[in-house]
Amino acid sequence: MSSRSGSKREYETSDQSTGHSASPPVPESSETEAGGLIFYHMDLYGSKERFDIFPEELSGQGERSLGDTRRESALSSEKFQHSQEAGYDLEKEVAELAKMYGLDEDREKELELLGGHLEVAESRWPPARTEKARSRDQSQSTKLQGLPGEASQDEDESKARAEDEAESPIRSGEGLSSSGISDEWNSQAVSEEEESGDVFCSTCKMPIRAFDKLFGEHKDHEVTKLPSAMESEKEEIHKNMCKLEEQIAQMENFASHLEEIFITVEENFGRQEENFEVHYNDAVQALAQKYEEQLEALGEEKRQKLEALYGQLVSCGEHLDTCKRLTDTTQELYLENDKANFMKAAITMVDRLEEFLKKEVDLELSTVPDFKERVIDFSEVEQLMNSINIIPAPCAPVINPQAPSAATGTSLRVCWSLFSDDTVECYQLCYKPVNNERRSDEQAAPSPPIIKSKKIRSCENAALVCWESGDINPVDSYTVELSKLTDEGNGDIITESIVGIPNCEVLIHLQPTQSYHICVRALNVGGSSERSDPAVIHTTGTYFCLNEDTAHPLLAILDDGFTINLLEHTLLSVSHRCIGILGSLIPFPGKHYWEVEVEEDTEYRIGVAFENTPRHGYLGANNSSWCMRHIITPSRHKYEFLHSGMTPDIRITLPPRRIGILLDYENCRLSLFNADIAQHLYTFNSHFQHYVHPCFALETPGMLRIRIGIAVPPWTALP
């Protein structure tokens, strides 16, 4: 097989005689190769030429050797011979079309291919062509589909004219160049028409003239009408074309797949190489380590031996010294002339000598010169070597940081990710509880936070809890633990926990008419704090607290936190001042109800206000506050329902002692009631664009007691 991509032009010129253009792959020589088999050129990266096969085949008609080619069984060589005889002008037709539609090379080939197969079946070329052209004009997009249709059209036509006209000429050996040689061919085509037959002999597999059937050698043979024979042949060829196309597609896929495999092989190689290197390094390191260890031990041993020997040597030396001294002394003694002195000294000497000689002389070596046998332990290394697997051990997975709400009191959801390169059979999860032991070099876990119980705001469906940090240790996040209190008193079972809270407050959704215990923990790198002291939340009504920061200086808040008192004071000489306080914001949608108990002679303003209401103003005198006002005139109680400084004229005969306030965000209402007799007093209809604060003010000395946590009474339902 020869690879000739990019050498089209060469072939164009060289193959002119055989009518090739732009059909590089198969030179004539290859046609005589391998018993005439022409190999399909398998070019991975430029398979444009593959369609050449057919035109090649067809256009190589000049050579009868084409008949020997065995591409597909259906494409019988005889057919081509016949087609040649029939005078098909395939190339010419396609060239014309190509010219007409400005197709590129590939399309040309395709057309050749299909045109070719049609041509085989067709009998009438020139009229067919014009028809084709016409219908192509009409619907270019369906050109290819159109061809079979057209073919049949043509066939009909051709049937009509079968007798009279010759089949369309095919120019043998015509090239695909779009030069205008069609005229030349046309004339040639005409001349060939006369030779065509009009009946097909199935026995001999050749078209013959009807005349021949009756009177010639084909007398007894099977014949079929040429058109129908054409039809069936056409079908067969078409089928085979399709199969070929399939094959083409398959091979293409396979080729690209192989490419991928190439890359994968490289990758795998790379990984294995790395793997080996790592193992090798490990092994070498282990060896080196062992070697050093042993060497050190050896050295140590030597030192010890030498020390011992040296010690011995020293003691020997000492001993020698002593001996020497004694010898010297004894010798001196002998030189003594005085006999009495000699005797004295001699006796002492003898004693000394005796004593000295009593001492044992250790002539044993304290240590052996030989060293211990040492062997480098290869077992570990062997182990390492043996542990080289095809599959490398996976890298450590990375545990994702804990997501919020991933934990309850008794369970935890852990997520981790792994490296995509790794092959993993299974995971092993290990855990241990972390305690808060203070380690000097680690960050201390925080102390438990302190819930601001008094500041909890809640309603039937939600609660807003805030707390403060227990100490100065840094805190990364807070965890809130909730347990619903039921009759069984299971205040310790945590029913819900919210993790990952960044600030010191949280809004929790709750169920109505329940009680809850809530605790908070603080978390940092050092761990989690102990649980804070629990706070209780009842979802039986709306709870808020009085915001001391907003209190007028002359107003006193009594111990329970919900009674405000204004005492006699010289500064109150100006009548009708508005000395008030705001409650905390009620940030929950829906209905909220609370009550205020008043004395009969208390002059007050009770209502709601936006956060930005002017603190030094009068409640109800602006459009950011609404209130009910009670003042006492000499003749009677006077009630006003103030907003934007305006009030309706309303008389109330029974001064309410317990005022019910219904705040209905949903229905845009603020209603006031005499709660003792369930009497509706007045309703403000106002679309509250923001959440509001309850507000309470006294105009003269007196006291207001606020009651919260009351469920919305049914008689407040203004239908």
In the complex, least distance from residue 653 CB atom to another protein, rounded to whole angstroms: 4
Order of strands across the sheet that contains 199-201: 206-208, 199-201, 223-225
Nearer to another protein, 526 or 656 (CB): 656
Please state, as a whole number, how many other Cβ atoms lie within 10 Å of the Cβ of residue 547: 17
Task: Tell me the sheet residues that pair with 478.
Answer: 501, 522
Nearer to another protein, 257 or 636 (CB): 636
Q: How far apart are CA 171 and CA 188, in angstroms?
A: 8
In the complex, least distance from residue 642 CB atom to another protein, rounded to whole angstroms: 15
Q: Which amino acid type is present at position 247?
A: Q
Nearer to another protein, 497 or 716 (CB): 716
Nearer to another protein, 396 or 650 (CB): 650
In the complex, least distance from residue 564 CB atom to another protein, rounded to whole angstroms: 27
Nearer to another protein, 373 or 649 (CB): 649
In the complex, least distance from residue 582 CB atom to another protein, rounded to whole angstroms: 28
Local structure of 350: helix, strand or coil: helix
Q: How far apart are CA 303 and CA 309, in angstroms?
A: 10
Nearer to another protein, 55 or 656 (CB): 656
Q: Which of 33, 107, 50 is nearest to 251 (CA)?
A: 50
Q: How far apart are CA 26 and CA 39, in angstroms?
A: 8
Largest Cα separation within the chain, whole Å, is 178
Nearer to another protein, 318 or 600 (CB): 600
Q: Which of 212, 211, 219, 170 is nearest to 193 (CA)?
A: 170
Nearer to another protein, 369 or 719 (CB): 719
In the complex, least distance from residue 634 CB atom to another protein, rounded to whole angstroms: 14
Long-range CB pairs of 532-535 (<8 Å, 24+ gap) are: 532/448, 532/449, 532/450, 532/451, 532/467, 532/470, 533/448, 533/450, 533/451, 534/451, 534/491, 535/451, 535/453, 535/456, 535/465
The residue ranges that bind another protein (CB under 8 A) are 636-637, 648-654, 674, 677-682, 715, 718-719
Cβ contacts of residue 181 below 8 Å, gap of 6+? 174
Q: How far apart are CA 26 and CA 41, in angstroms?
A: 8
In the complex, least distance from residue 469 CB atom to another protein, rounded to whole angstroms: 50
Nearer to another protein, 101 or 682 (CB): 682
In the complex, least distance from residue 542 CB atom to another protein, rounded to whole angstroms: 22
Nearer to another protein, 148 or 655 (CB): 655
Handedness of CA 632, 637, 638, 639 (dihedral sign): positive
In the complex, least distance from residue 656 CB atom to another protein, rounded to whole angstroms: 9
In the complex, least distance from residue 687 CB atom to another protein, rounded to whole angstroms: 19
Q: Is residue 486 within 8 Å of 566, Cβ to Cβ?
A: no
In the complex, least distance from residue 626 CB atom to another protein, rounded to whole angstroms: 17
Q: Which of 456, 452, 445 is nearest to 468 (CA)?
A: 452
